[in-house]
Amino acid sequence: HSVGLGTVAGHLAADTDTVILWVDAHADINTLASSNTGNVHGMPLSFNIKELQSENEEAGDDLKWLNPSLSPSRLAFIGLRDVDASEWKSIHKFSIPSFPMHTIDRIGIASAVESALNTVDPLKKRKIHMSFDIDVLDPKEAPATGTRVRGGLTLREALTLCELVNETGRLTALDLVEVNPSLAKTEDDLDTTVEAAVEVILAAIGDPRVTE
């Protein structure tokens, strides 16, 4: 999900009022100081949040081009279920609205999406950047990805999420990441994952769901 470092930065450079809907099993808000692995794909949000730059100083000139301008109040998480303790610390410190899977199980995906958007955009005027990691889906729905975690969204829940975001009329950017054909164990696994990704994209851009 490291591509989100640049796509979020670019969208905010064009419109600083943009809100970010991060749909992912992981929070990706680790810093260079807090990460246990050093993997950049677990850090893209932290590089965009000004308040976390004291923990990313090791990046030096490599990210000199980046102007961190994401306010934590304009970020919301949906679908979390594999989050490091240091990431929860940041989420709680900045009061970032978060709707992990155990919350979605209780209140439903529609309520989670509506609550997230109402929190980051109460006046319903801001543009929306949705960064969607395919691993937010349960592995049986999208097996060809690198960091699978059981207990994720069903495809139907994901499509409902995307349809609700589309219906706002304010979705102006969409990332769809972490589809990895090389990790498919079978042709069926590959087809299942790719088909799910295509359906997610179509739902987000307003293509009606096909029923049989």
Which among 157, 163, 178, 199 is annotated as catalytic?
Answer: 178
Which among 135, 157, 163, 189 is annotated as catalytic?
Answer: 135
Which among 26, 55, 82, 199 is annotated as catalytic?
Answer: 26
Q: Please say if 28 is a catalytic residue.
A: yes
Contact 96, 43 (CB under 8 A): no
96 Cβ partners below 8 Å, 6+ apart? 72, 73, 75, 76, 77, 90
Which among 41, 82, 175, 199 is annotated as catalytic?
Answer: 41
Which among 82, 87, 121, 133 is annotated as catalytic?
Answer: 133
Q: Please say if 41 is a catalytic residue.
A: yes
The 10 Å CB-count burial string (b at 16+, else e) for 21-48 is bbbbbbbbbbbbebbeeeebbbbbbbbb
CA 203 to chain centre: 16
Which among 11, 24, 82, 121 is annotated as catalytic?
Answer: 24
Residue 203 DSSP symbol: H
- Report CA torsion sign: 24, 75, 118, 7: negative
Which among 28, 55, 82, 87 is annotated as catalytic?
Answer: 28
What is the C-alpha to C-alpha distance for residues 179 and 191, in angstroms, rounded to an integer? 11
Q: Please say if 135 is a catalytic residue.
A: yes
What is the C-alpha to C-alpha distance for residues 80 and 41, in angstroms, rounded to an integer? 15
Catalytic positions: 1, 24, 26, 28, 41, 133, 135, 178
